[in-house]
Amino acid sequence: MARPSIVPIALTVDDRTGYTLWAPPWEEDGEEWQAFLGTSEGDTATVHLFPTPAALAAFCRTGRDHDLADHPVWPVVTELGAADLTPDDDHRYDLDGVYDIAAENPDRWAVEELAATIDIVSRLAECLDTAGADEDDEPVARRPAGRDAADGDPTDDLADEAADDDTDDTEFPALAELVARPEIGSLGLGVEAFVGRSGEDAWVGVGGALDDLWEDVLEELSAHLDWTGAGTTTLDAYPSVAEDEDDLDDDLDEDDTDDDTDAAVGTDDRGAQQTVAVGPDVSGDRPAGGSTAAAPAEAAEAAAAGVSTIRGGSRITATPAAVAAAAEFWEAVGILPVEIVVPEGAGVTLRCYVEDVARFLGRDGEVFLFDTPVDLARFCAGDEQHDLTEIASWPEVADTDTLPLPAEQDRYDLTELSEVLAEVAGGAAGLVDHRVFAQPVEGVRDVAEYAGLSRVDELLAPGAPLGRAVARAEGDPGAPLPAEDAAALRSAWDEVVTQVGSALVFRH
């Protein structure tokens, strides 16, 4: 069983897209569990949905009354921002679009996307179904992953219920009947199940099963979807899917106008944080729409392990295991990889401390940033002189083949704090506390110390508004951040980020 993790997902239902969190199966106290961000009130279990990743992130920072609060990695989630909680393409599930998919030819992508959609709905049902549960049964985050969870396929349990012709003990009888259809079960076999004349007939059967039952499935599920985000938002906050796609197209068009700049600094157009690679490798232009049921055990394990993408639009990816393995070398030499994100882009560099004074890979007060750890490693193996050359352990760095992968505590997204302050000023007061200052300010102070940025010292001085907020973060991190302070603090922070950006040099 892989380590516990929490993955952001998006669900599109009734022309609305909501964002929430899924905890793939993990083992605890000898039992397997899986979960979604939600609560249980009386006999009804619900999953909380939010109109944007930013709204989800704001809730996660201070929301305590939900069933993921005691998940092993929840403390990590509370520190993540909107970019971190933006689902990748593999974890966006369009429940409205299943008819369109079934109307297509049964190619690899159509089969995988349909299998993934039915799989996530089955997982939701497994966690949300309280019919026949004992009073002592655990709610959403403490529902067993199912007797077939080791195989990663909760649909088997629903199919068993339908096969027993006893759907009175489930709140999802239509779903149980759907997954019991042999054509739907064939989705788990992959595209090979839909080859030839018999395969064509099976694909027609998939469409027929969906025509018969999918609307009932959505009705069953909708009774358990909380679109108010645990009372933090309203339905009016959700744009239609068409409007949401128009906004995305506008964002991409803006990105296209900056292609040259983005290429220079190594930014990405969306900046998703959590990525999970599932299903077989495929080639072609069309992306897979979700995790495939063709290899459920591998999919669940990959999801639980997670792939952490450096935030702020970077293209860098590294598994937690790779980061941990690399950390052994970098901690031993006393020089650590660091990631810094500013509006101009995201990059990695190296930092150490000499007599408690920060020193970066750079020269003359300029910090060198590189698009990827490979680019950074290539530079370190070269002959160019810089301020780390004289460090006693530098020859080991120059000779190593261990990639410089930043650990989470050494990642400083300076743009995210600006976004958070804007959220608070725009009405998210009460959902954000002062602890949001802690990590980005640590990175800023180190760069300011190395580069001699006196203006940053002034802005962070104890008597300055931003300095007072930082001091509050150190003394009372859980104190809510008032909306009336956020706009002024954002202005000061943006000036800090501008100052820090002036000391960064993107190298290639």
Q: How confident is the prediction along the chain (508 residues), in pLDDT tens digits per residue?
A: 446 789 999 999 999 999 999 998 887 777 788 899 998 876 789 999 999 999 999 999 888 788 898 888 888 888 888 888 999 888 999 999 999 999 988 888 899 999 999 999 999 999 998 775 554 545 444 454 543 433 445 555 555 545 554 556 788 999 999 999 999 999 988 888 898 888 899 999 999 999 999 999 999 999 999 999 999 889 989 988 866 655 544 543 444 444 333 322 222 332 333 322 222 222 233 332 322 222 233 333 333 333 333 334 444 667 778 888 899 999 999 999 999 999 888 899 999 999 889 999 999 999 999 988 999 999 999 999 999 999 999 999 999 999 999 988 899 999 988 888 888 887 665 567 788 898 999 999 999 999 999 999 999 999 999 999 989 888 888 888 888 888 889 999 999 999 999 999 998 7
Please state, in angstroms and rounded to a whole number, the distance separating the CA atoms of residues 444 and 466: 13
Please state, in angstroms and rounded to a whole number, the distance separating the CA atoms of residues 399 and 382: 10
- Looking at residue 65, its pLDDT comes to 83
Say whether 330 sits in a helix, a strand or coil: helix
Please state, in angstroms and rounded to a whole number, the distance separating the CA atoms of residues 476 and 299: 41
Q: Residue 361 burial (CB < 10 Å; 0-12/13-18/19+)?
A: buried
Q: Residue 329 burial (CB < 10 Å; 0-12/13-18/19+)?
A: middle
Please state, in angstroms and rounded to a whole number, the distance separating the CA atoms of residues 200 and 207: 11
Please state, in angstroms and rounded to a whole number, the distance separating the CA atoms of residues 31 and 218: 30
Q: Which residues pair with 505 in a beta bridge?
A: 368
CA distance to 42, 204, 227, 229, per residue, from 155 (Å):
26, 20, 25, 27
- Looking at residue 133, its pLDDT comes to 55
Sheet holding 317-318, edge to edge: 274-275, 307-309, 317-318
Please state, in angstroms and rounded to a whole number, the distance separating the CA atoms of residues 54 and 187: 34
Please state, in angstroms and rounded to a whole number, the distance separating the CA atoms of residues 309 and 305: 13
- Looking at residue 109, its pLDDT comes to 86
CB under 8 Å to 263, separation ≥6 — which residues?
none
**What is the C-alpha R_g of the chain?**
25
Quickly tell me which residue has 């120059």 as its tokens.
Answer: 398
Angle at 418 between CA 417 and CA 423, to 5 degrees: 95
Angle at 223 between CA 217 and CA 227, to 5 degrees: 115
**Looking at residue 51, what DSSP letter applies?**
S
Please state, in angstroms and rounded to a whole number, the distance separating the CA atoms of residues 292 and 113: 7
Taking 3-state DSSP, the helix, strand and coil percentages for the chain, each rounded to the nearest 5, stand at 50, 15, 35
CB under 8 Å to 381, separation ≥6 — which residues?
398, 399
Within 10 angstroms of residue 258's Cβ, the number of other Cβ atoms is: 13
Alpha carbon 433 to chain centroid, angstroms: 21
Report the 3 state secondary structure along 66-122: CCCCCCCCHHHHCCCCCCCCCECHHHEEEHHHHHHHHCCCCCHHHHHHHHHHHHHHH
